[in-house]
Amino acid sequence: MKKITMQDVASKAGVSKSTVSQYINNRFEFMGASTKLRVEAAIKELGYIPNQVAKSLKQKKTGTIGVIVANILHAFSTEIIRAIEDECERNGFHLFVCNADDQPEKERSYIDMLVAKQVDGLVIFPTNGNNDYYKQLKNAEFPIVFVDRMINEPIFPTLLLDNESASRIAVEQLAKKGRKKIGLVSTSIAQNVTPRIERIRGYKKALASHGLSVEEDWIVAEERQEIGKKLQNIWDTGSRPEAFFATNDLALIELLKFIKKNKLAIPEDIGVIAIDDSPFLETATTPISVIKQPTFEIGQNAAETLLKLIVSKDFKEVYEERRYPPILVERESI
Amino acid sequence: MKKITMQDVASKAGVSKSTVSQYINNRFEFMGASTKLRVEAAIKELGYIPNQVAKSLKQKKTGTIGVIVANILHAFSTEIIRAIEDECERNGFHLFVCNADDQPEKERSYIDMLVAKQVDGLVIFPTNGNNDYYKQLKNAEFPIVFVDRMINEPIFPTLLLDNESASRIAVEQLAKKGRKKIGLVSTSIAQNVTPRIERIRGYKKALASHGLSVEEDWIVAEERQEIGKKLQNIWDTGSRPEAFFATNDLALIELLKFIKKNKLAIPEDIGVIAIDDSPFLETATTPISVIKQPTFEIGQNAAETLLKLIVSKDFKEVYEERRYPPILVERESI
DNA sequence: ATGACTTACTAAACCGGTTTAGTGCAAGGA
DNA sequence: TCCTTGCACTAAACCGGTTTAGTAAGTCAT
């Protein structure tokens, strides 16, 4: 089946391509009423759908943005994407979604392809391996917004949780209940991922401000599959903390598995608090207290910021990062 | 900053656009060695990136597919998307991700826009409100694959769980432990969504084959926020089932909330089994038995099927739906 | 020396829109 | 009557690639 083009519509309506184009774009100022009707009829009859690719080529804009997340399987990423998508839909934009899997090469390859596909902008959860490339894109005035992670130079708007506050709240909650020996569980910090680094830093600061000492042995920051072993090791050989702060959902899962395996009771034997919520945490025998991120707000603002940058092209030298306050959900695990 | 075009490269290298195009597309058969080097150098020096929009326009293919899910916030959708994305990446395709929110109008509007953007194909979790439109697309030989849900006529390849088997397994597991009074919890069936309908049907069949009678009062199929009330109502006023089968994750969450509120013990007071897994279910005090879907396999096969259809354009009149066996994860909640 | 083939490359059409610069015509004013 | 102005519409260039048809120069056989 041959695709219907603007020319087909024009011929059928007995007008020129230009006139059809005017019609499609609602420029009716200088269009006769009968012409308008004829074009309208021809479009309907032929089932004409304008080719956006051709339009994009001429107009040098595609109404498309790319989102490169670390991994869409994280609820955090999913919620951000959903919020971005909603905001984009309101503005007639579409979303390419890509998973960089924390691999700078994969990230770079995606950026390359998305740029080649002429996306109007990008939302990136940046790995730290392409900072030079980001700078190039900045020089080319390519609109980008960073989410969840910072790179060393804030050359694009960056939106993320106030991680240190989140840790402070976590420690506060535990300390309030008299917990003095507070451990931390995190996924690996080998790649210097902003939230993990900041959460650990915030945790240490908070301990200090509560007059508690930092016990490096109680800080577990490993690849996911190592966490259980490391926890068991602490439990079996060292002095035991009275509570753990899990800095994200994956760390929490491993922590809960460990707690289950050792038949510990929450909060009697061990206190637990974590960053990131899940509906199942509410239904646990002891519901787990968590610190939520305002994911939808972050995602929506990221999209708003990007769309604004796309139209204004008003780039600043550097940007102050935008921090979001964490949200405490008090349950019974502390 | 002006975008570098193929013409710029051609001028710099002292050749014609055509030659640069040959170079870009690795057609070296009739290219002199020195010419090749000059073009290569010019491209590198100028940092030239070919414009895929222009290419797409001429070649009538974009290397892009659209995925329209019900709601990306469901873990099921996310996993399918992830699998599709992986398969697409291997084949140089990119993914538009859209949320139809079970609204046929929204779905239709997305299909329209994606078709206008010249996607090469679509993966859709179909609502049942655009069957006429699907048929039109079929007539136009537009490649589509359906996932998770069927429409009344199987005009495109359709991949989904063997829902009746899943229900059979669930009932079997409960019956094996002597449960005779088995209720069901589902999200609303007002929109005739395939999996929900089939799971309920399978549940009824399975009860029958175990010689158990179907108690309509024990079947809760409501909007999410109504589920709790309905369950409470059964508990307070009617005869009580000994176990519940939750047909998806949302239903399970509401069921667990209800169980918690009534301080029931799993499995002593009430048996539980559900479709769809979550890492947190493993860490519950009583780990919940579930029936998993092979989401990654479904997603990957969906992408494979679609990509094959895109290149072959070999449409059949109708398709047999492809069913995936459910995977039982036995834990302790039965 | 001539014609037939290769080899290496290019001109120009083309994809399907948008946009600019005009054109033809009728009405209105001098 | 002539000139201007406004209206309704169109021709053609353009976006940045791909692709087809063709050309020029060199090689080889005759």
Tokens of A123: 């939302």
- Single out the residue of B182, B75, B193 nearest to residue B125, CA to CA: B193
Predicted local distance difference test score (pLDDT) of residue A41: 95
Q: How far apart are CA B49 and CA B52, in angstroms?
A: 9
Q: How far is the CA of A18 from the C1' of D12 (A)?
A: 11
| pLDDT-derived band at B79, boundaries 50, 70, 90 | very high
Chain B residue with Cα closest to A117: B52
Whether the Cβ atoms of residue A98 and residue A125 lie closer than 8 Å to each other: no
Predicted local distance difference test score (pLDDT) of residue B128: 87
Strands (E), chain B: 64-69, 94-99, 121-124, 144-147, 158-161, 182-187, 219-222, 243-246, 271-275, 289-292, 322-324, 327-329
- SS3 label, residue A123: strand
User: Does A58 contact strand D, using a CB cutoff of 7 Å?
Assistant: yes
| Distance from chain centroid for Cα A243 | 29
Q: How far apart are CA A304 and CA A250, in angstroms?
A: 29
Residues A278, B281: C-beta atoms closer than 8 Å: no
Residues A53, B53: C-beta atoms closer than 8 Å: yes
Whether the Cβ atoms of residue B333 and residue B272 lie closer than 8 Å to each other: yes
Give the model confidence (pLDDT) of B176-205 as tens digits.
Answer: 999 999 999 999 999 899 999 999 999 999
Predicted local distance difference test score (pLDDT) of residue B199: 98
- Would the pLDDT of B313 be above 80? yes
User: Does B57 contact strand D, using a CB cutoff of 7 Å?
Assistant: yes
Global pTM exceeds 0.75? yes
Q: How far apart are CA B181 and CA B309, in angstroms?
A: 47
User: Does A57 contact strand C, using a CB cutoff of 7 Å?
Assistant: yes
Min distance A208 CA to chain B CA atoms (Å)? 32
Residues B95, A98: C-beta atoms closer than 8 Å: yes
Q: How far is the CA of A41 from the C1' of C29 (A)?
A: 39
| pLDDT-derived band at B6, boundaries 50, 70, 90 | very high
Q: How far apart are CA B182 and CA B204, in angstroms?
A: 10
Q: How far apart are CA B316 and CA B144, in angstroms?
A: 12
Q: How far apart are CA B120 and CA B118, in angstroms?
A: 6
Q: How far apart are CA B200 and CA A110, in angstroms?
A: 43
Give the model confidence (pLDDT) of B208-227 as tens digits.
Answer: 999 999 999 999 999 999 99
Q: How far apart are CA A98 and CA A112, in angstroms?
A: 12
Q: How far is the CA of B138 from the C1' of C29 (A)?
A: 62
Predicted local distance difference test score (pLDDT) of residue A2: 72
Predicted local distance difference test score (pLDDT) of residue A1: 59
Residues B85, A99: C-beta atoms closer than 8 Å: yes
Write the residue in A78, A98, A116 that is nearest to B50 by C-beta. Answer: A116
| A–B CB contacts, 8 A cutoff, strictly below | 131
Predicted local distance difference test score (pLDDT) of residue B125: 97
- SS3 label, residue A43: helix
Give the model confidence (pLDDT) of B94-114 as tens digits.
Answer: 999 999 999 999 999 999 999
Q: How far apart are CA A290 and CA A282, in angstroms?
A: 10
Min distance B250 CA to chain A CA atoms (Å)? 9
Quickly tell me which residue has 């993966």 as its tokens.
Answer: B123
User: Does B51 contact strand C, using a CB cutoff of 7 Å?
Assistant: no
Predicted local distance difference test score (pLDDT) of residue B1: 59
- Would the pLDDT of B307 be above 90? yes
- Sequence-separated (6 or more) residues with CB below 8 Å from residue B224: B187, B188, B250, B254
User: Does A27 contact strand C, using a CB cutoff of 7 Å?
Assistant: no
Q: B124: exposed, middle or buried (C-beta count within 10 Å: 0-12, 13-18, 19+)?
A: buried
Give the model confidence (pLDDT) of B11-61 as tens digits.
Answer: 999 999 999 999 999 988 888 889 999 999 999 999 999 999 999 999 999
Residue type for position B167: S
Strands (E), chain A: 64-69, 94-99, 121-124, 144-147, 158-161, 182-187, 219-222, 243-246, 271-275, 289-292, 322-324, 327-329
Write the residue in A3, A114, A257 that is nearest to B283 by C-beta. Answer: A257
Low-confidence ranges of chain A (pLDDT < 50): none
Quickly tell me which residue has 């980001």 as its tokens.
Answer: A134
Q: What average pLDDT does the structure give for chain B?
A: 95
- Sequence-separated (6 or more) residues with CB below 8 Å from residue B272: B243, B244, B246, B252, B255, B256, B259, B266, B288, B289, B333, B334
